[in-house]
């Protein structure tokens, strides 16, 4: 059964916001996690997706167009890589996601890790109110970091607010 997590705001969870591992011998297929805001957690990664044993195929796990404070971790994905693209990371990520194909992700300007993938950037998006409660990660018109920085071939038809994507020639990264 396809699993979809869309247009949510999750913050201050005691562990990862999404942590999914199948029962022994079973397998996950078709995860789509898009247009969400994953704020800080008490300890861990924003998202952990896993297969039940080494050699698992995670190629149908897609994490795209989100804002995340922490990294994404794909476990037992060495038989098919997790798809991770056009996300905006708000805090330093000390290491890149293992067994993932990354593209067009935005990392903080002083991020410690340099993650491989076409279109990845290190810069700080100009957003409306990232520190407010609730947060507002809508891009300001003056943004030169995430605006037009999404994947030009793979993007959802709408953003988190339900607006048509792309608004310009290229889609914006983030929700």
CA dihedral 99, 21, 44, 143 (to 10 degrees): 60
Give residue 43's pLDDT.
77
- CA-wise closest residue to 21 among 74, 62, 65: 74
CA quadruple 93, 159, 32, 64: dihedral sign: negative
Rounded Cα distance, 157 and 6, in Å: 13
pLDDT in tens, 123-171: 999 999 888 877 889 999 999 999 999 999 999 999 999 999 999 999 9
- Tens of pLDDT, residue by residue over 151-160, are 999 999 999 9
At 79-110, the pLDDT tens digits run 899 999 999 999 988 888 888 999 999 999 99
Distance of CA 61 to the CA centre of its chain: 11
pLDDT for 25 = 67
What gap in Å lies between CA 50 and CA 72, rounded to an integer? 11
The count of other CB atoms within 10 Å of the CB of residue 157 is 8
Q: What pLDDT does 125 receive?
A: 97
Looking at the chain, the whole-number percentage of residues with pLDDT higher than 70 is: 98
Q: What are the DSSP E strand ranges found in the chain?
A: 3-6, 9-10, 18-20, 31-34, 37-38, 47-50, 61-64, 67-68, 72-75, 82-85, 88-89, 100-103, 106-107, 121-122, 127-129, 136-139
In this predicted structure, the answer to whether residue 20 has a pLDDT above a threshold of 90 is no
pLDDT higher than 80, residue 42: no
The reported pTM is: 0.92
Q: What is the mean pLDDT of residues 64-86?
A: 91
- Quick: pLDDT tens for 110-126: 998 888 899 999 999 99
- Cβ atoms of 44 and 72 within 8 Å: the answer is no
**Cα–Cα distance, 171 to 164 (Å, whole number):** 10
pLDDT over 80 (residue 10): yes
Predicted local confidence at residue 11, as pLDDT: 83
**pLDDT at 3 exceeding the cut of 90:** no
Q: Give the separation between CA 25 and CA 103, rounded to whole angstroms.
A: 31
Region 9-28: mean pLDDT is 78
């Amino acid at each position: 059964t396809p699993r979809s997590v869309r247009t949510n705001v999750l913050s201050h969870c005691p562990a990862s916001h999404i942590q999914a591992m199948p029962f022994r011998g079973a397998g996950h297929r078709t995860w789509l996690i898009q247009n969400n805001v994953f704020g800080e957690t008490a300890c861990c990664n924003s998202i952990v997706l896993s297969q039940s044993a080494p050699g698992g195929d995670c190629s149908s796990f897609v994490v795209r167009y989100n804002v995340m404070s922490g990294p994404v971790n794909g476990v037992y994905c060495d038989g098919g890589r997790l798809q991770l693209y056009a996300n905006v990371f708000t805090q330093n990520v000390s290491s890149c996601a293992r067994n993932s194909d990354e593209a067009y992700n935005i990392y903080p300007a002083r991020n410690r890790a340099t993650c491989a993938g076409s279109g990845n950037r290190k810069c700080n998006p100009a957003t409306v109110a990232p520190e407010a409660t609730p947060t507002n990660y809508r891009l300001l018109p003056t943004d030169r970091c995430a605006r037009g920085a999404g994947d030009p071939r793979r993007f959802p038809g709408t953003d988190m607010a339900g607006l048509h994507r792309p608004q310009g020639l290229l889609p914006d990264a983030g929700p």
